[in-house]
Amino acid sequence: MGRLFGTDGVRGVANADLTAEMALGLSVAAVGVLAAPSGDGPARRPVAVVGRDPRASGEFLEAAVVAGLASAGVDVLRVGVLPTPAVAYLTGALGADFGVMLSASHNPMPDNGVKFFARGGHKLADELEDRIEAAYREHAAGEPWDRPVGAGVGRVTDYGEGFDMYVSHLVSALPNRLDGLRVVIDAAHGAASRVAPEAFARAGAEVVTIGAEPDGLNINDGYGTMHLDALRGAVVAEGADLGIAVDGDADRCLAADREGREIDGDQILAVLGLAMREAGRLAHDTVVATVMSNLGFTLAMEREGVRLKHTAVGDRYVLEEMKRGGYSLGGEQSGHVIVLDHATTGDGTLTGLLLAARVAATRRPLSELAAVMERLPQVLINVPDVDKSRVSESRELAEAVAEAERQLGETGRVLLRPSGTEPLVRVMVEAADAAQAGTVAAGLADAVKSALG
C-alpha cells in the first residue's frame, strides 16, 4: 500500500480517492499528533483552523473534517474560503494548535486534497505526516480513538474575521504603496477571488479583476497560473502596468508585463532578490531555488553577486533549506515564492504585491526589472499514464538520459522526475538552442513511455 501523503498533503479525485470517510479519519488521526499538549501553559482544549478553496467537493470534505475534529475534542475555527497561506497565517496568528486546508491547489476541479499545518502555521515534516498516516490506518483497521462526550466535544465557530486579518497582514508587509499602478488580477476562480483584489486595492492599486467568479466547478479552468493567456490578453487590453495570476489555492504567483509577456517564478525571484538585497533584507545575500530553475537565473544571480542554494523540486524542500540556513527568500520557477519575513509558506498574493511594489518604487516597467536575467530555452513535457515509481530503476531510461546529455554537452541539461502530486513523469530539457531542447525533450518523452508505459 503506497504512502497517502504526497509532496503537498493528501490528494485525489474527491469522493473517489479522497472520500468523506478518509477526510474524517485523517482529521481524527491528526489530533493525536498535532494537538498534543505543548507543556508551556495550562491545559486547554485544542484549537484548529479549517479553511478551503471553492471547489464543490470542499463543502462535504470540510463538513467531514470539522466533524472529525470536533468528535475528537477539538474546537474548530472555520474560516471558509481563503487561500492556503491564509490558513497557515491564521494558524499562527490565532495561536491554534494546527490548521487544515482543503484544496488541490492547481489541480483540476474533480481533485481535492487535505493539507495540515503545525503550530505556528508551518508545513509538516515527513515524520509528522508518517505518524498521522499510521494513526489513520490504525483507526481504519478498528483501533478506537478517544471520543469525549458531553462538554468534552469540540465546538465549531465560523470565524469571518479571518478575511480581514489576513488582508491587513498582506498590506502591512509592503515596503511602499501601489498608488498609480493599474494591475490585472487573475484569481483562477479560486480561493483568492476576494482576497487578492481587496489587498491590491487597499494597497492603492487600480484593480481590474478576471477569473474571480468561483461557482465550485470552474477553479483553474482557463484562468490562473496554469492558463496565462487570459491574463496576458487582459493586461494589454486594459493598458495595465502588470498582471498577477495565482492558482486555485493562491500559494503560487506568475505575472505578465505591460506587453503581455509572461514573467515566471525565476524572474520574480530575481526581481525580489535584488530588491531585498538593496533593502538589506536578503539574509546572507542568498536565494534558495530548485534544480528546475532556469540556467539563466543562475547566471544572473552569479553576475549580481547573489549566492544560490539549490534543492530538490518542491516548495517544502526549499522551505527546509531556508530554515536550515536562515535564508529569507526562496522559491520555484512554477511560482511558489516564500518570503520568510512575512509568511511560512508560498503566498501568491503576497508575492504579487511585493512584485508590484518594486515596480511602483522604482518607476521602472516590469519588463525592464525582469530583464536582469535571460531565460534560456527550456522545454517541459509531462508524460501521463506511466509507472512513475520506476523512474530511478529503469536501465532503458538511464541510457536514454545519458544519450540526451551527450547530445547537449555542456550547453544544456536534462532533468527527469516523477510528479509528487500527479500521476505523471516530468521531462525537462534546457539548451542554448530552442529547437535542440524540443527535439531532445520529445525523444526523452518517448523513452519514458516506452520504458514505463
Last residue of a domain, one of 159, 189, 204: 159
Q: Which amino acid is at 409?
A: G
Report which DSSP code applies to 124. Answer: P
- The CATH number of residue 146's host domain is 3.40.120.10
Percent of the chain exceeding pLDDT 70 equals 98
Annotated binding-site residue? 419: no
Looking at residue 6, its pLDDT comes to 84
Last residue of a domain, one of 370, 395, 410: 370
Last residue of a domain, one of 126, 142, 159: 159
pLDDT at residue 44 tops 90: no
**Interval 208-218 mean pLDDT:** 98
Report which DSSP code applies to 387. Answer: -
Co-location of 15 and 100 in the same domain: yes
State the chain's maximal CA–CA distance in angstroms.
Answer: 70
In a domain, 365, yes or no: yes
In a domain, 385, yes or no: yes
Co-location of 311 and 286 in the same domain: yes
Co-location of 209 and 308 in the same domain: yes
* Interstrand relation of 378-384 and 307-311 (parallel, antiparallel or unpaired): unpaired
Whether 105 is catalytic is yes
231: helix, coil or strand?
helix
In a domain, 273, yes or no: yes
Residues 6+ apart with CB under 8 A from 38: 119
Looking at residue 39, its pLDDT comes to 52
Co-location of 190 and 115 in the same domain: no
Co-location of 62 and 45 in the same domain: yes
Could you give the number of structural domains in the chain? 3
**Interval 168-176 mean pLDDT:** 98
- The CATH number of residue 426's host domain is 3.30.310.50
Which tens digits make up the pLDDT trace of 233-286? 999 999 999 999 999 999 999 999 999 999 999 999 999 999 999 999 999 999
Residues 6+ apart with CB under 8 A from 138: none
pLDDT at residue 37 tops 70: no
Annotated binding-site residue? 105: yes
Annotated binding-site residue? 433: no
Co-location of 98 and 209 in the same domain: no
In a domain, 3, yes or no: no
In a domain, 5, yes or no: no
Co-location of 264 and 169 in the same domain: yes
Co-location of 169 and 150 in the same domain: no
Co-location of 45 and 144 in the same domain: yes
Q: Output the average pLDDT for the chain.
A: 94
Which tens digits make up the pLDDT trace of 376-419? 888 999 999 888 888 888 888 889 999 998 888 877 888 888 88
Q: By residue range, what is the domain housing residue 292?
A: 165-370
- Residue with grid cell 499528533, as numbered in its chain: 33
> Catalytic pick from 27, 103, 105, 328?
105
Annotated binding-site residue? 249: yes
Q: Are 365 and 419 in contact (CB under 8 A)?
A: no
Co-location of 170 and 123 in the same domain: no
* pTM recorded for the entire structure: 0.89
Percent of the chain exceeding pLDDT 90 equals 77
Co-location of 144 and 272 in the same domain: no
pLDDT at residue 347 tops 70: yes
**Interval 213-225 mean pLDDT:** 98
In a domain, 2, yes or no: no
Strands of the 307-311 sheet, one edge to the other: 307-311, 286-290, 329-331, 337-339
